[in-house]
Amino acid sequence: MARPALRVDRSGEPLRLLHVHAHPDDESSKGAATTAKYVAEGVEVMVATCTGGERGSILNPAMDRPDVLANIAEIRKQEMDRAREILGIHQVWLGFVDSGLPEGDPLPPLPPGCFATVDLEVEVAALVRVIREFRPHVLTTYDERGGYPHPDHIRCHEISVAAFEQASDPEALREFGPVWQVQKLYYHLSGNRARFEALDAAMIARGGEPQYTEWLTRWPADLASRPYPVTRVPCAEYFPTRDHALLAHATQIDPEGHWFSVPLEVHQQAWPTEDYELVTSHVEVDLPEDDLFAGIAVSAAETAGTVRVS
């Protein structure tokens, strides 16, 4: 099958998308079908992974073995390599250490030197460097809750929002080269309630068992007022690629677990999009959107003779 025409901005530059994630596997569990769609359209996609996931629990019983536990940091890097190849992306490690998910009442202190405790300015600088080198048109990250209250996800939000601003500031971090203005900032909304309600309704309509009913009864009250997604990217045909990338993270994803409790075709029919909240835009937009590059992209034909492909 021929690849679609290269998507470009108004100056003829190929479009570039930067996802900022806390751990390896987050790039596959949040927005992976969107990623695959844009890669297929010729968009350059990079994932900046803040930590190595060294303190992540092994969530797949088949991988819960002493040899895996002893080499978890290296194994998670290998898993990321496989997911990167499946998605067709660039990927960079920011080099910080996983904070782990503290449990207990009261919660124990975070490990010294972990991502959530390192000087925020150091972490922001690492991401500004990536932004100025890659020059993305669009950046995605998590909301102020981190999507869920993991300390690394919350810190990922903090550094992403700060780096989005500082990358374009000529007075900030001059040692990292020319400034770059990212045009749009989005939050992932893969966990929006309406999606899970639709999946449960679709399962019931098929005569199956709903998978999220009990979980929805525990839906955090502070999420009730979050806006409905204003950007819904149609990408159902890339859900198989998403699932393939997820399975590459074998320590984290159980093929028999909750990630696959709803059949693929139900996902594709009941909720065929991945959803985002537009937070900041430096281009004119018309909401609701169905494209992260709305207001930025033009077709290659419109810029014939000016497209620069590196």
Q: Following CA atoms 104, 105, 111, 113 in sequence, which dihedral angle do they give, to the nearest 10 degrees? A: 130
Does 26 count as an annotated binding residue? yes
Do residues 143 and 157 touch, judged by C-beta distance below 8 A? Answer: yes
Nearest-angstrom CA–CA distance, 225 and 223: 5
Of 288, 259, 272, 277, which Cα lies nearest the Cα of 188?
A: 277
DSSP state of 113: T
3-state SS assignment for residue 167: coil
DSSP 270-310: H--EEEEEEEEESS---SSBS-TTTTTEE-GGGGTTT----
Nearest-angstrom CA–CA distance, 299 and 270: 30
Query: Which residues in 15-45 are b (16+ Cβ under 10 Å) and which e?
Result: bbbbbbbbbbbbbbbbbbbbbbbbbbebbbb
Q: How is residue 274 written in tokens?
A: 């991945």
Q: How is residue 28 written in tokens?
A: 């596959």
Containing H/E element for 175?
Answer: none
Does 249 count as an annotated binding residue? no
Nearest-angstrom CA–CA distance, 263 and 44: 30
- Name the pairing type of β-strands 138-141 and 184-188: parallel
Containing H/E element for 98?
Answer: none
Does 153 count as an annotated binding residue? yes
Which residues are documented as binding site for Zn(2+)?
23, 26, 153
Which residues are documented as binding site?
23, 26, 153
